[in-house]
Amino acid sequence: MAKKILIIGGGISGLCAAHELKRRGFEVVLLEAKSRAGGVINTFNESGFRAESGSNSVMVQSQKTLDFIESLGLNGRIANSSAVSKKRFFVKNGKICEVPMSPLKMIFSPLFSFAGKFRLLKEMRVPKHDPDSDPSVAQFTIDRLGKEALDYGMNPFMAGIYGGDPEKLSMKYAFPPFWNLEQKYGSIIKGASAARKEKKAAGNFFKPVMISFKNGLVELVDKIKEGLKNEIILNAKLVSVDYDMGSWQACWTNESGDGCDIFDEIILALPAPEIKNLPLAGTLSARLGILDKIEYAPVVSLTMGFKKSDISHPLDGFGALVPEVEKKYRILGALFVSSVFEGRAPADCATITCYIGGMRYPELFEKSDAELEELALEDLKGLVGLKGSPMFKRIFRWKNAIAQYNVGYGDILEEIGEIEKDFPTVKLLGAYRGGVGVSSCIENGLVLADKIRQ
Ligand SMILES: Cc1cc2nc3c(=O)[nH]c(=O)nc-3n(C[C@H](O)[C@H](O)[C@H](O)COP(=O)(O)OP(=O)(O)OC[C@H]3O[C@@H](n4cnc5c(N)ncnc54)[C@H](O)[C@@H]3O)c2cc1C
């Protein structure tokens, strides 16, 4: 008889696991608390403008993720990011400044001073960190690359990925590529080219690609949901989960009535802070208290549409991230959405998404929509020379937007591993483990399904 699996949480992580388990012949039930599955991923269209509620794109990091997307039949639906979006901007002295992506551009870049550039070169001679240490992103960057690289490099970069605070984030866990290069090659600069050559020689070099879909990221979750019509239960409130004689008995309720069933395994695929609210059996619930230590950044995503003629900057890039030291601005960054993907704004118009809050300014999450709009418009005036008012706007608030892999996160991971050993039929899945990006969530869902099969 096919094993029966209960998945709690229908974001991209839970959906991918459910899809893969079903494909492999398991019986699956997915409980989603809201009236739609998809989690933070959704797309809204109005008068030719498009706003994503959460993620704007997927940075595909592996062939496995690409194969999965193709297996869904979404091949022809992929929207590749534009060539111009390879250009990225940070803010320096109140102005947008191109991030140098090549050594030659770095030499002439105004983003770093002469002394700052010279300090970067010294990175090759800095001793590596103790492998058992867990330096913050800020400490690691200062040690290896200097303070300027932190202020005008890592700080805005971490705001872009995590909405995070580099003083708190762990380099080892929040940005493992740098940590691994240092540990393996003794230098990030030397290691980057050596690692690339090694991967190419071994034939496993995958160049990450940034994609969305012709109708936005919602296409991805909609396609997965299509195959799970009978498995997803929406507006579901879990009432009890008890362990008895080697199985889990779960009961829930929704508008169509009450449900109860027996499961071989359960997957918790909801944000870490929500897990403590689940009515799980006592000992398991107590052990899962560790997940409460995982902080989440609150993020507001405000998308607005403008006439291009109201903006003096050509918006010829992916977007602009604001370093914390640039106190003139309150947004974390602005994404030039319509420059990245086609079909995001009507002709002669532009769509921009501003991200607000994060660990830098969590208090802004409490501001009203009108206050946040005013603040974002003021910042866009300074950043891209905005003159007019928005023709379109859409705001999304995520209290538990992005999990923070802070210093000490290794202990939490270890305990998660112990919990799964002590409760082998309980699996923990989601952006709080193994990567916050959509690509990681997809891959982790698929890998988990494979583990359960084995
Ligand atoms: C504003 C923003 C911008 C982002 N930008 C990018 C980007 O550009 N690129 C990128 O790769 N990533 C980005 N991310 C990150 C990425 O989108 C997320 O990390 C990822 O989508 C999380 O997926 P998930 O399934 O783990 O969690 P979620 O999407 O949070 O899904 C969890 C699900 O669990 C459900 N749930 C909660 N409680 C219960 C309960 N008690 N019972 C049942 N169900 C429950 C929720 O309703 C939700 O549907 C962004 C995130 C945000 C918020």
Q: How far is the CA of 406 from the centre of ligand 1 (A)?
A: 19
* Residue at token pair 């799970």: 228
Contact 286, 26 (CB under 8 A): no
Measured between alpha carbons, how far is 101 from 114 in angstroms, rounded to an integer? 17
The helix or strand, by DSSP H or E, that contains position 310, with its residue range, turns out to be none
Q: What are the start-end ranges of the H helices in 315-400? A: 337-340, 369-384
The helix or strand, by DSSP H or E, that contains position 349, with its residue range, turns out to be strand 349-357
- If one residue of 232, 438, 440 were mutated to test the ligand 1 pocket, choosing by the most ligand atoms within 8 A of its CB, it would be 438
Determine phi and psi for 299, rounding to 5 degrees. -135, 135
Contact 32, 233 (CB under 8 A): yes
| Residue 385 Cα distances to 91, 96, 309, 370, angstroms | 14, 10, 10, 21
* Residue at token pair 């370093």: 323
Contact 5, 261 (CB under 8 A): no
Q: List the chain domain ranges.
A: 4-39+220-294+406-453, 45-85+295-403, 112-200
The strand order across the sheet containing 78-80 reads 58-60, 209-213, 78-80
Q: How far is the CA of 12 from the centre of ligand 1 (A)?
A: 7
- If one residue of 56, 270, 365, 400 were mutated to test the ligand 1 pocket, choosing by the most ligand atoms within 8 A of its CB, it would be 270
Determine phi and psi for 210, rounding to 5 degrees. -95, 125
Angle between helical axes of 12-23 and 438-453 (0-180°, round to 10): 30
Measured between alpha carbons, how far is 354 from 369 in angstroms, rounded to an integer? 13
Is 4-39+220-294+406-453 CATH 3.50.50.60? yes
Is 112-200 CATH 1.10.3110.10? yes
* Ligand 1 atom 11: residue of nearest CA: 437
The helix or strand, by DSSP H or E, that contains position 92, with its residue range, turns out to be strand 89-92
Minimum-distance ligand 1 atom for the alpha carbon of 277: 41
Which pLDDT tens digits describe the chain residue by residue (454 residues)? 789 999 999 999 999 999 999 999 999 999 999 999 999 999 999 999 999 999 999 999 889 999 999 999 999 999 999 999 999 999 999 999 999 988 889 889 999 999 999 999 999 999 999 999 999 999 999 999 999 999 999 999 999 999 999 999 999 999 999 999 999 999 999 998 898 888 888 877 788 999 999 999 999 999 999 999 999 999 999 999 999 888 999 999 999 899 999 999 999 999 999 998 999 977 899 999 999 999 999 999 999 999 999 999 999 999 999 999 999 999 999 999 999 999 999 999 999 999 999 999 999 999 999 999 999 999 999 999 999 899 999 999 999 999 999 999 999 999 999 999 999 999 999 999 999 999 999 999 999 999 998 8
What kind of fold does domain 45-85+295-403 have according to CATH?
Polyamine Oxidase; Chain A, domain 2 (3.90.660)
Residues with CB under 6 Å of ligand 1 are: 8-14, 31-34, 39-41, 54-59, 236, 238, 269-271, 274, 278, 299, 301, 398, 401-402, 430-431, 436-439, 441
Chain centroid offset of residue 372 CA: 22
Q: How far is the CA of 52 from the centre of ligand 1 (A)?
A: 13
